[in-house]
Amino acid sequence: MHDTNTTLRRFSFDTAAVWLLGATALVGALILIPYGSISFYGTKAAVFAVGALLAFIAFVVGRLVRGSVVVPPLALLGAVWLVPLAYTLSALFSGIELSRAFFGTELETDTLGFMVLMALLTTIAALALRRAGDYRAFLGVLAAALGITLVAQVLIIIAANLGAPLSSTTNLIGGFTDFGMMMGLLVVLALFVARFLTLSRMHTIVLWVAVALALLMLAFVNSVITWILVGLSALALFIEAVLRRRSHVEDTDLEGVESLSQEEASPLERSRQGLGAPLVVLLVSLFFLLGGSSIGNAIASSLNINTIDVRPSWQSTFGVGTHTYASSPLFGSGPTTFGAKWLEFKDRTLNDTVFWNVDFASGIGTIPTSFVTTGIVGVIAWLVLIGFFAYAGMRTLLIRLPEDPFLRFVSITSYAGAAYVLVLAFFATPGIVVLSLGFLLLGLFISSMRHGKGRNEMGIVFSKSPRMGFAIVFGLTLLLIGSVAATYGVLARYMGTLAYGEAAVALSAGNLEVAEAALTRSLAYAPTDRGYQLATAVSVERMRRIAVDTSIAPSTAQQQFQGALSSAVAAGLEATRRGPHNYQNWATLGGVYQAVIPLGIDGAYESAVDAFSRARTLNPTNPALSYVLAQLEIAEGNDEAAEAKLLESIAAKRDYIPAILLLSQLEIRLGKATEALQAAEAAAYFAPNEPSVLFQVGLLRSGTGDTQGAVEALRRAVELNPDYANARFFLGAMYAVQGQYEASAEQLRAVAALSPENATAVADDLAAVEDGRNPFPQTRLRTLGIPTPPVAEPETEPEA
């Protein structure tokens, strides 16, 4: 009978909740599906979300079966749920579509759904983990996840340097910076394990090998904030060990000395007092902090490890927040909207950097980003959570530590791990794995508070109280139904993400039928603006194929083209409806109208201008949008309006070469030869090794009478691209104008050697220069495009 009860207890719903929670942490951290169409982040988000919901369902069913609820102290747990509450209020009152505010694209960290997930993980850990056995199981799973991550990375680096087709920065966690954060967590937790637990010799060896390898990985990543937090943890343990270390001096050394402390050492004080481990970690951290990036970069470069962590600065994040608070201070701009606000308010000087076209979706840190998107209510929620966490930690560590050594270790270690992740979230942008493990550790700490001195678990036996029982059972049943519905919603969203990835791969491979079928499934599961963006691209490609397919009867082709055009416009409009604050949706729609302007379709020009103008309003510092508007004006013959748009593009980014080149060509058509040459010279200054730019400079210099300057520019273009037929042809022409007939003949022979068509085209000119005659008088040069060359796309190199 005893064995039967043990078996029933072992396989209870409570036990299932604990194991589901552990499996969620392990699988969510380690899962990696090496297939291009499957989203790495989306897969991990789905695993954590579904796993947390299943664990919660098991816990709720267990409560219903037992007829009781037992909880730890709830103040800190309640503070955790203030953050999702703030996100909910922001989503409701900021005007953001609720599905987008909840899910974003793939349950990103600045979504309501992600914050609910973090609070749910904390809650399940706090409620389901109750006993020492539960704690051992969970910490064992965490140790396994950290250890497997470390071993896998060592093997990946070795394989990459032996020639395997993968990068040294490939890892199981996400970005390489995220991996470094995980290794920092490993080192921090390992230091507490060594401090408070007695390990076997074998376990001790494994622990220190893991710490050494983790420190090596930290050196590869070389993240300043991670080194600081690891160093601070080591410093705290080192100081604690020094203060509690028992004296080894002779008693005679204290003769005649009155001791100021006569208290008996507590069990904590009598535990192991190692100084070496925290001291070594502290010194290593200081070494890399003082050595700066040079040492870490040198170590990483030795193994071909290159990584970069680019985020907006504190100043930029604060600037975006200031502008956002000016219009919506209470509830912010809404979940997932930092990227849109960044584009709207970013500093124009960033366009002078290599990151001018990077659309940052978050600020300097996860929590500061939340301050911007959720407003004052979000700030209050986070500050209350951090305040309660700090207060509960100090109170527990100072006066309410559990008596049992292992439970004491669980409380201290979980608090340190949760604090590490929360600080990271304030100063950096951890990924889903790091944040999930951090909130699980927070839940573990809340659970351990039930074992503190003077603490008691609170329990409600609702099965013995009909009135209270009905209310609690009704509430738990609603939670159960809501959890099942949420599980379905998460799975449906993930299926939509998988289908979207399949469609994107099929489109890139040119398989429109597969892409359309996959998109239909994706939009059925999760109708998102990026899905309709891709649908627009598929329809545009369909239009292009119909236009060039001569095997289709004209009447049939016209019908098919109109159908594809209607589909493209409809998809583009739906994308803008679902994501009106995403400039890419408007640019995609504008691209559809722009593609059909040459066909003379009524309203195409006006619709294209309207769409791209809306995109520019949302992203006013992007020079490419003004450039596209200038192209539209040129297509309509509005040269003065095009000139103004090009000047706006160059004002946004002074080294935007496409706009500078197009402006130089436009100025020629407007009769402004001097201005045209100045624009081309500016382009050559910013792109001194671009053959097409030098070709343009050569033509314009020739047009202003600077033949030698034209020769120098064209000769440089030929050096950079020996197969540039037009550059060689005009260089030969300039040599002939100067009377250097042998040099001219050399260039024309090179042009002729490039293709039979070129040989036929230059045969008469080559014969003339070989006879010592100049076949390029001024009238001939004008017919060839000097000094009034036609306006053309600057990226296209004309053929001879």
Residues 505-517 have pLDDT tens digits of 999 999 999 999 9
Distance of alpha carbon 782 from alpha carbon 780, whole angstroms: 5
In a domain, 541, yes or no: no
- 278 and 425 co-located in one domain: yes
Give the residue from 176, 147, 183, 144 showing the smallest Cα distance to 160.
176
Q: Report d(CA 697, CA 321) in Å as an integer.
A: 44
Q: Is residue 638 part of a domain?
A: no
Q: What is the pLDDT of residue 659?
A: 85
Per-residue CA distances from 365 to 78, 169, 308 (Å): 24, 22, 16
- Which pLDDT score, from 0 to 100, does residue 786 have? 66
Q: Do 82 and 57 share a structural domain?
A: no
147 and 50 in one domain?
no
Structural contact between residues 499 and 36, judged by C-beta atoms closer than 8 angstroms: no
Alpha carbons 677 and 661: distance in angstroms, whole number: 10
Please say whether the beta carbons of 777 and 765 come within 8 A.
Answer: no
**Structure tokens that stand for 310 in this block:** 């680019």
Both 662 and 796 in one domain: the answer is yes
In the predicted structure, residue 254 carries a pLDDT above the cut 60: no
Which of 510, 543, 569 is a domain's end point? Answer: 510
Q: Which of 488, 510, 532 is the last residue of a domain?
A: 510
Whether the CB-CB separation of 632 and 594 falls below 8 Å is answered with: yes
Q: For residues 432 and 496, state if they share a domain.
A: no
What is the predicted pLDDT for the residue at 573? 95
Rounded Cα distance, 56 and 470, in Å:
20
Domain check: are 98 and 219 in the same one? Answer: yes
Q: What are phi and psi of 660, to 5 degrees?
A: -65, -45
Q: Give the domain extent around 487.
A: 1-67+463-510
Give, in order, the Cα–Cα distances in Å from 533 to each of 139, 230, 342, 538. 44, 44, 21, 9
Give, as one character, the DSSP assignment of residue 84: H
Q: Are 320 and 341 in contact (CB under 8 A)?
A: yes
- Asked if 29 and 97 sit in the same domain, the reply is no
Q: What pLDDT was estimated at residue 247?
A: 46
The Cα 537–Cα 613 span in angstroms is 20
Torsion angle (degrees, nearest 10) of CA 241, 244, 248, 254: 140
Residues 63 and 201 in one domain: no
Torsion angles phi and psi, residue 460, rounded to 5: -130, 120
Amino acid identity of 224?
V
Q: Under 8 Å CB-to-CB from 105, ≥6 apart: which residues?
A: 336, 528, 530
Domain membership of residue 728 (yes or no) is: yes
Average pLDDT rounded to a whole number, residues 483-496: 90
Helix (H) or strand (E) run with residue 71 in it: strand 69-71
Instruction: Look at residue 558 and tell me if it is in a domain.
Output: no
Per-residue pLDDT, 311: 86
b/e burial code for range 463-489 (CB count within 10 A of at least 16 → b): eeeeeeeeebeeebeeebeebeebbeb
Give, rounded to a whole angstrom, the gap between the first and last alpha carbons of the chain: 96
What is the CATH number for 714?
1.25.40.10
For all residues of the chain together, what is the average pLDDT? 86
Total domain count for the chain? 3
> Cα-flanking dihedrals φ and ψ of residue 325, to 5°?
-65, -25
Q: What is the pLDDT of residue 222?
A: 87
Pair (797, 749) in one structural domain: yes
Torsion angles phi and psi, residue 65, rounded to 5 = -70, -45
C-alpha to C-alpha distance for 443 and 460, rounded to whole angstroms = 20
Query: Is the pLDDT at 418 greater than 90, yes or no?
Result: yes
The answer to the question of residue 39 being in a domain is yes
pLDDT band at 10 (very low <50, low <70, confident <90, very high): low
Long-range contacts of 671-674 (CB under 8 A, 24+ apart): 673/700, 673/703, 673/704, 673/787, 674/704
- The pLDDT of residue 325 is 94
Rounded to two decimals, the pTM is: 0.85
Contact 650, 659 (CB under 8 A): yes
**Which of 138, 581, 517 has its CA nearest to residue 344?**
581
Q: Is pLDDT of 269 > 60?
A: no
The answer on 195 and 81 residing in a single domain is: yes
Residue 390, pLDDT > 60, answer: yes
CA-closest candidate to residue 149, choices 233, 235, 44: 44
Other CB atoms within 10 Å distance of the CB of residue 554: 8
Element (H, E) at 497: helix 466-508
pLDDT score at 466:
67
Segment 539-550, tens digit of pLDDT: 999 999 998 888
Instruction: Give yes or no for residue 266 having a pLDDT over 60.
Output: no
CA distance 738 to 715: 14
755-793 pLDDT per residue, tens: 888 888 888 888 988 888 888 887 777 776 665 433 333
CA neighbor of 143 nearest in space, from 203, 103, 96, 97? 203
CB under 8 A, 24+ apart: contacts of 170-174: 172/29, 172/30, 172/31, 172/32, 172/148, 173/29, 173/149, 173/431, 173/433, 173/434, 174/40, 174/41, 174/44, 174/431, 174/432, 174/433
Instruction: Output 99 or 292, whichever has higher pLDDT.
Output: 99
pLDDT value at residue 292: 64
Q: Is 433 contained in some domain? A: yes
- pLDDT tens for each residue of 293-341: 667 677 767 667 777 778 888 999 999 999 999 999 999 999 999 999 9
DSSP-assigned states of every residue in 408-472: HHHHHHHHHHHHHHHHHHHHS---HHHHHHHHHHHHHHHHHGGGSTT---EEE-GGG-HHHHHHH
Task: Identify the residue whose tokens are 């995403």.
Answer: 582
Q: 164 is written with which tokens?
A: 């395997």
What is the percent of the chain with per-residue pLDDT over 90, rounded to a whole number? 49
Indicate whether 431 and 471 sit together in one domain: no
Do 121 and 36 belong together in one domain?
no
Q: pLDDT at position 375, please? A: 95
What pLDDT score was predicted for residue 799?
42
Peptide bond into 787 cis (omega under 30): yes
The verdict on residue 586 lying in a domain is no
The alpha helices in 604-739, defined as continuous H runs, are: 604-618, 623-635, 639-652, 657-669, 673-686, 691-703, 707-720, 725-738
Task: Check whether 268 has a pLDDT greater than 70.
Answer: no
Nearby residues of 559 by Cβ (< 8 Å), 6 or more positions away: none
- Report whether 42 contacts 106 (CB < 8 A): yes
Q: Among the ranges 256-270, 420-434, 461-475, 700-714, which has the highest mean pLDDT value? A: 420-434
The residue-averaged pLDDT of 630-658 equals 89
pLDDT for the residue 37: 78
Handedness of CA 517, 520, 524, 528 (dihedral sign): positive
CB neighbour burial string for 503-539, b if at least 16 within 10 angstroms, e if fewer: bbbbbeeeebeebbebbebbbebbebbbbbbbbbbbb
Task: Inform me whether the pLDDT recorded for 1 exceeds 50.
Answer: no
CA angle at 733 for the pair 728 and 735, rounded to the nearest 5°: 95
| Residues present in the chain in total | 800
654 compared with 385, residue with greater pLDDT: 385
Residue 342 burial by Cβ neighbours in a 10 Å radius (0-12, 13-18, 19+) = buried
Q: Who's near 236: CB < 8 A, 6+ residues apart? A: none
Quick one: pLDDT band at residue 255, thresholds 50, 70, 90? low
Q: What is the pLDDT of residues 46-101, one digit of tens each?
A: 999 999 999 999 998 888 888 777 888 889 999 999 999 999 999 999 888 888 89
**Whole-number Å distance between alpha carbons of 362 and 366:** 7
Q: How confident is the model at residue 146 (pLDDT cuts 50, 70, 90)?
A: very high
- The answer to whether 118 touches 360, Cβ cutoff 8 Å, is no
Is residue 521 within 8 A of residue 487, CB to CB? The reply is no
Residue 661 lies in a domain: yes
Question: Tell me, what DSSP letter sits at residue 246?
Answer: P
Q: Centre a 10 Å sphere on the Cβ of residue 755 and count the other Cβ atoms it contains.
A: 14
Q: Is the Cβ–Cβ distance between 565 and 620 less than 8 Å?
A: no
* CA R_g for the chain: 34
Is the Cβ–Cβ distance between 189 and 279 less than 8 Å? Answer: no
User: Who contacts 534 (Cβ-Cβ below 8 Å, separation ≥6)?
Assistant: 500, 503, 504, 507, 515, 519
